[in-house]
Structure formats: structure tokens, C-alpha cells
């Protein structure tokens, strides 16, 4: 087992990895730059190394050099940054440093999205329909021809990304060029690669991913599925397991398909096999995410497995510690992404200082975060600042628990998406479990306010108005200036 691990990430995922390392008796080395000097992952790590700038997190050679200098035997990339970069994984292997994730030959197979889709289709599994080639900045005419053949609506997707940065929807030929430019710009900024391809859009759809774990000895298991169909701007905001859109028969078939696809690539370490499911219940393979995902806590809550621990053990050459028969998902779990972004201003990132933090608690409530009172949310990174996850024996109780936890969660100092999440958990379609990717594509209907809520709101506004207009210095009433009260208490001479 490793004695020291360099964590090539920051924020809440770095905190998550640090805690597992400490439980395993492994020295955790954190990286930080000026904006992150007071961050929680820096405070919790056993050792810390300051880097010149945020760009260092994308500099594979610099990270390997830092690992060698501090004596780290392995690097955990978390997600984002270099987590799926094939060149970085290869550099780690050449340098003799273990990469906590899939090996190069696996990452290379799944990283090329089009080749992965073609490989799965050739094996007889249903996949999304894609363009036969990728497109660069100068391939506008070829893009238009391919789009006409596939027919609209279409999704322009980054060859290096997934469903998120580098993805844009084009519903008509008039939207194609603008969508392509935006997708390429995002892909270049996030992944350093601006090649894109076209995918026939399935609208509306359910986004469902199956969590898998595999070791180097041929053992592979799944840990159930997660549904992430509530999206805003290509980013999932709520995820739950099990998926409410699947029947038991569909679920079993999906698990079997995911395991077979993972074996097709000889997959190792943690990853997810992702699918789109249409309104008829037919599912289509889209990609394999060769890393741990943001939403992994919901899987951990229902299976009681520590996915980061399993990642580390597999990377150290150990076999999986359980078989498929040992994986017994229980109950229901949900997760919300808490982002520092302004929901009233097109969800623009809102960096700044968090002045007050009140984290929710209670039975089966988990918060993965790096925020605390007085901490700073830097502008150079993803606006994700916390993940709130809850577990319950059934979906109804899980909904109520998450609703209560969201109401308990207080962050003061910079705008967050908490108000939107609180509103989602009152939406009837979500409560009934009949939602899809179309639910948050349009503004939610205005909620009718109850009299008690309006009364409390009026009282809060009145108190705020009084506090803002109260005088800041002590004054003495005029009736006390005459001195009558002193004379009335004076003893007779």
C-alpha cells in the first residue's frame, strides 16, 4: 500500500480524498496557490505544497516533478483537470508514479468518444447516433453536411469532454454555427482540445449512469445506477439512486449491459458507463467516464462502500475486496450540487467571501465541502463549493429529508443556487419521479405563497428596514435633559 499520495486537485474533492487517506494511514499531500492558501483541504492535509498559479493543476510534468520531490508514490487526480488526460497518465507510468485511475491503455480507448461508441455498436449494443468524423474550426462546411444528414435537433459535443463543458444543442441550421463556436471555445478552455462531433439529440431523455469498479485481476462489479436528469446549462444539479424512471426489469438489463461494455474495454479502477434513455424506455450508450464522478456520494450512501478507498487499493495492485453478490444497495439517496453562482443573473459564477456558514445535519445527512466562515471562493475554478447528500429507506422520506436539509443550509456572503434547489424539491413532477431532462429547461412555475410565508417575509423586511435606519450613536431623550428626575430623588436639606 502507498505511504504518501499527492492530490492533484483542490476544493471539496481534495478534502474528500484527504480524509480517506488519513483513515488509511496514508500521508496526504495537498497543492494550493495564493487564492487557496486558507482552503480547507490545505488545513486538513498532512503536507502542503504551494504552486505558482492555477495553471499548475494542468501541467502534468510539473505535478510529476512535485510528486517526486515530496516522495509521493501515487497521484490522485480527483475529477477535472488531468483526471482523464492520457498523456498525463502515460507520464506518470514512465516516471514510476502510480496514477489512481484507469491505466493508459484503458484511458486511451474510452477517451476517444467516437471510437468508443463505434466499438460498443460493433459489439451489438444500442448507442446514440453520431457523425462519422470530428470537426475543427475550419470544418464548417463538413459540419453542415453532416448535420443535414443526421437531421436536427443535434448536440455538438467535445471529443475530450462529456455532458457538460463543450456541449451545445442546435435545434435548427441557424443555430449550428453559433453552437459549434461555443462548444469549441469551452472545449479549448477546459480540455485544451477544440475538436467536436455531432450527436443526434434524444429529447426529452433520462441521463442514467452505472457505477463500476474493476481491479487488475479481472474482477469487475457494478454498484447500481444514478439518475442525473435535472440539468441546468449542461450541468447536473440533482442526482439520485436508484433511478425512478426504471422498472426492475429495465434496471437489471441496464446493469448487465454496463458490465458487458466495461469488460469490452478491459476496464480498471472506478468509472461510470453512461446512457441516455428515451421516453419508451430504450437506452443508448453514450460514453464511459474514466474517473470518479462528482456524484459518487449517493452510490456510497446506498452501498456503504468508500469508492476513493477502493480506487487507491486497486491502483496499489490489490484485488477488489468484494464480489457482485456482496453489493447490496439499500434505501434511497439524493445529492444536490451547491454552486457559487447567481441564479438571478443567468447562473454566472459568483466568487467572493463566505461570511456565514451553517451546514445541515441530522441522521443520514452528508456534506462534502471546503467552505467555512470567512473562506474565499476563488474565481479561477469551478463554482462547485459543496455537495449535499442524504439517505433514507425510501424515496418519499429521502425527499423530505433533503428538503429539510436544504432549508437548514445557510451560506451568506455570495449568491448560490440554494434557492433554485429548494424550489425543485417542491416541483410536482420531481416529487412524483416522472421528470426528465426537459424539467429545468424552462423556468419553473411561480409558487403560490401561503399567508404564513408572506407574514414572515413582511416581518423580516420590517426588521431589516428598522436595523438599516437605526442611529448608530446613543442619544438621551429630551425629557431627561431638564434634570427633573435628579431633583425628584434629591434628599431634603
Catalytic residues: 291
Residues contacting 223, CB < 8 A, separation 6+:
211, 212, 213, 299, 303, 305, 307, 327, 329
Asked whether the beta carbons of 241 and 222 are under 8 A apart, the reply is no
3-state secondary structure of 486: helix
What's the CA gap between 85 and 102, in Å, rounded? 11
Among 326, 210, 209, 218, which residue's Cα sits nearest to residue 268?
218
What's the CA gap between 227 and 275, in Å, rounded? 10
Asked whether the beta carbons of 21 and 5 are under 8 A apart, the reply is yes
What's the CA gap between 287 and 276, in Å, rounded? 10
Helix pair angle (173-191, 140-150), 10° resolution: 120
Which helix or strand (DSSP H or E) is residue 226 part of? strand 220-232
Show the cell assigned to 392. Answer: 433514507
What DSSP line would sit under 344-393, residue for residue?
TTTTEE--EE--EEE---STTEEEEE---TT-EE-SSS-SEEEEEEEEES
What's the CA gap between 233 and 150, in Å, rounded? 24
Q: How many of the other CB atoms lie within 10 Å of CB of 285?
A: 22
Amino acid at each position: 500500500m502507498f505511504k504518501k499520495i499527492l492530490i492533484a486537485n483542490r476544493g471539496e474533492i481534495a478534502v474528500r480524498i484527504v480524509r480517506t487517506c488519513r483513515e488509511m494511514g496514508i500521508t496526504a499531500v495537498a497543492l494550493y496557490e495564493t487564492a487557496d492558501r486558507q482552503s480547507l483541504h490545505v488545513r486538513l492535509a498532512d503536507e502542503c505544497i504551494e504552486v505558482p498559479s492555477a495553471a499548475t493543476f494542468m501541467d502534468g510534468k510539473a505535478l510529476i516533478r512535485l510528486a517526486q520531490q515530496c516522495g509521493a508514490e501515487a497521484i490522485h487526480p480527483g475529477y477535472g483537470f488531468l483526471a482523464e488526460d492520457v498523456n498525463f497518465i502515460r507520464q506518470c507510468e514512465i516516471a514510476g508514479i502510480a496514477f489512481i485511475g484507469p491505466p493508459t491503455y484503458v484511458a486511451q480507448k474510452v477517451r476517444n468518444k467516437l471510437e468508443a461508441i463505434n466499438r460498443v455498436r460493433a459489439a451489438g449494443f444500442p448507442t446514440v447516433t453520431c457523425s462519422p468524423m470530428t470537426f475543427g474550426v475550419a470544418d464548417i462546411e463538413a459540419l453542415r453536411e453532416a448535420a443535414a444528414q443526421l437531421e436536427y435537433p443535434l448536440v455538438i459535443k467535445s471529443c475530450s469532454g462529456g455532458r457538460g463543458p463543450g456541449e451545445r444543442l442546435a435545434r435548427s441550421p441557424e443555430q449550428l454555427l453559433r453552437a459549434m463556436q461555443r462548444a469549441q471555445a469551452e472545449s479549448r478552455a477546459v480540455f485544451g482540445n477544440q475538436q467536436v462531433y455531432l450527436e443526434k439529440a434524444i429529447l426529452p431523455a433520462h441521463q442514467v449512469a452505472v457505477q463500476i469498479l474493476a481491479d487488475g485481476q479481472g474482477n469487475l462489479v457494478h454498484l447500481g445506477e444514478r439518475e442525473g436528469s435535472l440539468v441546468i446549462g449542461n450541468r447536473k444539479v440533482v442526482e439520485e439512486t436508484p433511478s425512478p424512471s426504471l422498472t426492475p426489469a429495465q434496471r437489471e438489463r441496464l446493469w448487465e449491459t454496463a458490465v458487458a461494455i466495461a469488460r469490452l474495454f478491459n476496464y480498471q479502477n472506478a468509472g461510470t458507463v453512461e446512457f441516455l434513455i428515451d421516453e419508451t424506455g430504450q437506452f443508448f450508450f453514450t460514453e464511459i467516464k474514466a474517473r470518479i464522478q462528482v456524484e459518487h456520494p449517493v452510490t456510497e450512501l446506498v452501498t456503504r462502500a468508500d469508492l476513493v478507498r477502493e480506487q487507491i487499493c486497486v491502483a496499489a495492485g490489490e484485488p477488489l475486496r468484494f464480489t457482485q453478490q456482496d453489493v447490496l444497495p439499500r434505501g434511497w439517496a439524493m445529492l444536490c450540487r451547491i454552486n457559487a453562482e447567481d441564479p438571478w443573473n443567468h447562473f454566472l459564477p459568483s466568487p467572493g467571501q463566505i461570511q456565514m456558514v451553517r451546514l445541515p445535519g441530522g441522521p443520514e445527512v452528508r456534506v462534502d465541502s471546503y467552505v467555512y466562515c470567512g473562506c474565499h471562493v476563488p474565481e479561477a475554478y469551478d463554482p462547485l463549493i459543496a455537495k449535499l447528500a442524504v439517505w433514507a429507506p425510501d424515496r418519499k422520506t429521502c425527499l423530505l429529508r433533503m428538503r429539510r436539509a436544504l432549508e437548514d443550509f445557510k451560506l451568506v456572503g455570495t449568491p448560490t443556487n440554494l434557492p433554485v434547489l429548494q424550489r425543485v424539491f417542491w416541483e410536482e413532477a420531481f416529487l412524483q419521479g416522472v421528470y426528465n431532462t426537459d424539467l429545468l429547461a424552462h423556468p419553473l412555475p411561480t409558487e403560490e405563497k401561503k399567508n404564513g410565508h408572506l407574514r414572515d417575509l413582511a416581518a423580516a423586511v420590517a426588521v431589516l428596514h428598522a436595523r438599516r435606519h437605526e442611529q448608530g450613536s446613543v442619544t438621551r431623550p429630551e425629557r431627561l435633559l431638564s434634570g427633573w428626575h435628579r431633583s425628584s430623588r434629591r434628599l431634603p436639606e
